[in-house]
Structure 1
Amino acid sequence: GIPYWTYNNGDEPLVAISLLDTSNIANQLDSTPRVFYLGGNPEVEFPETQEEQQERHQQKHSLPVGRRGGQHQQEEESEEQKDGNSVLSGFSSEFLAQTFNTEEDTAKRLRSPRDKRNQIVRVEGGLRIINPEGQQEEEEEEEEEKQRSEQGRNGLEETICSLKIRENIAQPARADLYNPRAGSISTANSLTLPILRYLRLSAEYVRLYRNGIYAPHWNINANSLLYVIRGEGRVRIVNSQGNAVFDNKVRKGQLVVVPQNFVVAEQAGEEEGLEYLVFKTNDRAAVSHVQQVFRATPADVLANAFGLRQRQVTELKLSGNRGPLVHPQSQSQSN
């Protein structure tokens, strides 16, 4: 869902009660409550849920070595997943350093802060945050509400017979995101192809050049089906406990299902690029990128949540934030 943080700036302890509506139409998973933390070593909030998922995870990793891609992969996975319970702990420090263009020490703190801080952190000296005026926030909310009420209307009644039914999202000029070293991303939804509103589907075309990375991200309001159409690469999917539920090479013709809110990252191989289509179960599927979240989060919040120094926060928010498409070599050269 939408990432958020809470800070008590009052003089008394604050007790907050959260109501999780798992039957909400926006939830496309199941009725099991899940909390996805971006940082820290959060304590277990739903023990019975984690026990079930850990049992399935252990059954998966108890398969013979030959069926799991070799002993080296098994040792590597256990080494990467033994620290932290946040979604970033499911990625290696080396991969995070490449993705965010940071030092390895910063990447290690993102995976698991050294002092093992959980989801509640005491801030010494208080937070220094610039807040917008209340009136400005109200105006923005009113504008958003107005836009939502006008969705699906263009002043003319549309019929299925008159709707455009074809869109070539693989055209280079059609790209919504582009990095000359890493690749491009194009999307099609009910705004660009209105008939998708009736199908409740949207699509994404991703082309990664050699070694190109689509940095960690998640679908806010949809499940997705990834289909490889050309090349090869690697896909890693992390669940709410910080476990990599999928970490394998993919090739042409293979399908991978990515559940809603599970964090996923893709990287093309060294020999050739990777091209794939993503079909999403929402006609206006929304994606959240970890890089964008870091950039929008106040510096003091990042420093206290991950135990970072000010220099590391600046590096994370600015140096490593050049869009979700990343090429490791160009990142290191820019330093």
Structure 2
Amino acid sequence: MKKMMQDQEEDDVEEEVKQKTSWSWRKLLESVFGDEIENMKKDNVAHKSPRSCNLYDRKPDFKNSYGWSVALDGSDYSPLKSSGVGIYHVNLKPGSMMTPHVNPRATEYGIVIRGSGRIQIVFPNGTNAMDTHIKQGDVFFVPRYFAFCQIASSNEPLDFFGFTTSAQKNKPQFLIGATSLMKSMMGPELAAAFGVSEDAMQNILNAQHESVILPAEQNNEKNLEHSEMIPKIVKIMT
């Protein structure tokens, strides 16, 4: 019994020494690395996952009788801020055309999820970069500052979805249509650049009452004429 009591007392003393040593080391670590330890504790706390966001539940940013488009950026869905990307979805009715435009902030990647059509891309110097047919399953990308347009086939819609390389609002600049840059640039200089009178140029610009998505009634001939004007418009602007 005496031996057992002595062993127990020795164990108690050893445990007390360990606790004191552990406590002193803890105080030392907290005094030196206090902020880091606190941050580690916070990181170990379970965080609530961000809410999901369904692109199909969002009201289109633009919609008319010929199609619609919707875009999601960091101001709409906070997780996109950390990823640095935006998301968009466009639906064009048969024969309709997404107005030729330029993305000033981001490169755009697209995936055709339904239907078929045509995409035309123009270099910033006004020369043609690509003019090709696209169909379901195809992927395309448009570099920043390159003018481009999409045209749905005459017999089926063109539905495409994709990403942009910026979580900020893209603010595309449209080259033709009711809200185009051409209207803001209207003047004798613009008419001279196209080799027509100012009145003729004004009539051309006022003839298009739609914006963003052009109607099928003016396609295929009218929309093809517009797409053929893109290289010249870009060249004049640059």
| One-letter code aligned to 1:231 | G
Between Structure 1 and Structure 2, the one with more helix by share is 2
Q: Does the alignment pair 1:303 with 2:188?
A: no
Number of positions where the alignment pairs a residue of Structure 1 with one of Structure 2:
171
Q: Give the superposition deviation at 1:247.
A: 1.5
Change in 2 beyond 3 A, CA 1:163/1:290:
farther
The aligned counterpart of 1:19 is: none
Contact 2:93 2:216 in 1 (8 A): no
TM-score of the pair, normalised by structure 1: 0.47
The aligned counterpart of 1:168 is: 54
Change in 2 beyond 3 A, CA 1:178/1:312:
farther
Contact 1:218 1:288 in 2 (8 A): yes
Q: Give the superposition deviation at 1:304.
A: 2.9
Change in 2 beyond 3 A, CA 1:319/1:165:
farther
Identity, % of aligned positions: 20
Between Structure 1 and Structure 2, the one with more strand by share is 2
Change in 2 beyond 3 A, CA 1:309/1:225:
same
Change in 2 beyond 3 A, CA 1:165/1:257:
farther
The aligned counterpart of 2:172 is: 287
TM-score of the pair, normalised by structure 2: 0.65
Unaligned runs of 5+ in 1: 1-160
Equivalent positions of 1:263-282 (< 5 A) are: 263-282=147-166
Equivalent positions of 1:144-183 (< 5 A) are: 164-171=50-57, 174-180=59-65, 182-183=66-67
| One-letter code aligned to 1:265 | C
Give per-residue Cα distances to partners, 1:112-134, cap 9 Å, x unaligned: xxxxxxxxxxxxxxxxxxxxxxx
| One-letter code aligned to 1:316 | I
The aligned counterpart of 1:329 is: 217
**Using the alignment, how far apart are the partners of 2:50 and 2:174 within structure 1?**
30
Structure whose CA Rg is larger: 2
| One-letter code aligned to 1:166 | S
Unaligned runs of 5+ in 2: 1-46, 223-238
- CA RMSD after TM alignment: 2.3
**Using the alignment, how far apart are the partners of 2:190 and 2:48 within structure 1?**
50
Q: Give the superposition deviation at 1:330.
A: 5.0
Q: Give the superposition deviation at 1:328.
A: 4.2
Contact 2:186 2:202 in 1 (8 A): no
SS at match of 1:170: helix
The aligned counterpart of 2:140 is: 256
**Using the alignment, how far apart are the partners of 1:259 and 1:223 within structure 2?**
4
SS at match of 1:302: helix
**Using the alignment, how far apart are the partners of 1:217 and 1:200 within structure 2?**
22
